[in-house]
Structure 1
């Protein structure tokens, strides 16, 4: 600590410090990235079912708040269990479970109670949405956090399965998630998370190596990791074709161009000598990719608000 500056974990006595700790505890960007597909699929389900958004405000609030609470509970349990790993990594050293701002016991109980409350709220929507919420939570907390992350490189795949349930949750609140759109979105979220996560792993390679987390670049090196990312970004190519009839030519063109651009961007990593910068660019592009796809789908179906 320099010049008397305090870390976020030492600012618990202020409202701003508390909010900063909450942001780190809930992994702000991760939370948003998981709630966005829930909202997108919910919106699209209303549109394709011929329902009005304005007539379903209570259900909308129940869905968004409930799913956000479930995801928050899962993230808290992840932070509780991984506190020892987080102490060894620069990217996670400000989490309140590391700084001591929140005790591990309090985070554990907060994660359990929050998960239970969120599940209860989702049960008030539809049973199918509740099942998807539980499966997403189970894959992330039990199969990813507790079982695979410290042992196997497939932890990335298992974590991706968890995220793939988010659009199914949003759609199932309105209608059974057997429509091509929620299925295609689940496919997108599953595939997207792999190169997104591997970009983080390459960027934070020293962190993961120090913590002993068996991410692919730690175990196999950056070369095989980039080739794996290339396979998964190429696997995104069918996505716009799956939704051509449902979403139209504008959506198809936007997604296809962005997907090809991402493939080219990933492939450039095979020749670059600045892997850190390359990984950061890929990480940012992956987030922009997901946000633009979601916003494009929402905008193209915006008459639903009427």
Structure 2
């Protein structure tokens, strides 16, 4: 926290930008636009799938759909902004985060905190106009990310990855609850998809940026236990994805076969890591595979249900 105060004092000495044509880019960095978009997609998928399985029509739910998409996006953006505010000392050390406006001083830390809280309040306000269930799932994700991950576990435990995975996994539940209760095999299975997927995905990033995390003092698994342990853990979690497509057999044979092929492909890739001579290149390939894996899974899940929408 001393480091954070020093950074805040240093920011006060910087001359504010009068003509900030990079404002949009700063805002994108502040809300972590890539992460935010990746979280909005499962919310949309939850809505689309719920319309099909609950035999509902867009005409009867379009207002709530807009409110949930907007509200959950703002609440998630608020959590990501608060993460930037809290992690400014870490971000100032790691190369991949040094351009964030909290580090450059384009926004003061007080401004960032106000933005994060403001976005969160507006987001939850919109969700409350829909129903308590969408609000509850969003709050679980928000609270887990801000308090259990960012503030409590990230700097203390290698389990921070597992704890943080809960926050992103609730997104299909948020979308589904727009239409009906999310106590249903499809959104719960999608929750498991996201929860399990995030762990090897994050481990791949942690391997790529291992030395940066080490310098910042963040106890990621590769930093504390090394690459071989990380590879074994990745193999375990990716193997746990294998049975999940069969729980979604109601989405059709195309989804089942495609998801299974993707799972087998990822398992082959991860086991190849035990023989690789270039761990960082292998980690990068796992990162790319994981991003495309998630996109295909959720887009395909939506596509298989679209023809049946009312």
TM-score, normalised on structure 1? Answer: 0.94
Q: Which runs of 5+ in 1 are unaligned?
A: 1-8
SS at match of 1:119: helix
Q: 1:83 aligns with which of 72, 85, 88?
A: 88
Once structures 1 and 2 are overlaid, which stretch shifts more, 70-79 or 11-20?
11-20
SS at match of 1:270: coil
Once structures 1 and 2 are overlaid, which stretch shifts more, 272-281 or 153-162?
272-281
Residue-pair matches, total: 297
- Alignment pair present for 1:261 and 2:261: no
- Alignment pair present for 1:185 and 2:194: no
Whole-Å Cα distance in 1 between the matches of residues 270 and 56 of structure 2?
40
- Alignment pair present for 1:248 and 2:238: no
- Contact kept, 8 Å, 1:136 with 1:165, in 2: the verdict is yes
Say if 1:239 and 1:15 are closer, same or farther in 2 by CA, change over 3 A.
Answer: farther
Paired position in structure 2 for 1:282: 286
Shift of 1:175: 0.6
1:45-81 alpha-carbon deviations (Å, 9 max, x no partner): 0111111224422211111100100000000000000
Q: Which runs of 5+ in 2 are unaligned?
A: 1-13
**What is the alpha-carbon root mean square deviation over aligned residues?**
1.5
Paired position in structure 1 for 2:133: 128
Paired position in structure 2 for 1:196: 201
1:224-266 alpha-carbon deviations (Å, 9 max, x no partner): 001100100000011101111x111110000000011011111
- Contact kept, 8 Å, 1:202 with 1:217, in 2: the verdict is yes
Paired position in structure 1 for 2:172: 167
Paired position in structure 2 for 1:234: 239
Whole-Å Cα distance in 2 between the matches of residues 301 and 278 of structure 1?
35
Q: 2:277 aligns with which of 268, 273, 279?
A: 273
What does residue range 216-227 of structure 1 map to in structure 2 within 5 Å? 216-227=221-232
SS at match of 2:273: helix
Paired position in structure 2 for 1:32: 37
1:118-137 alpha-carbon deviations (Å, 9 max, x no partner): 11111111111111111100
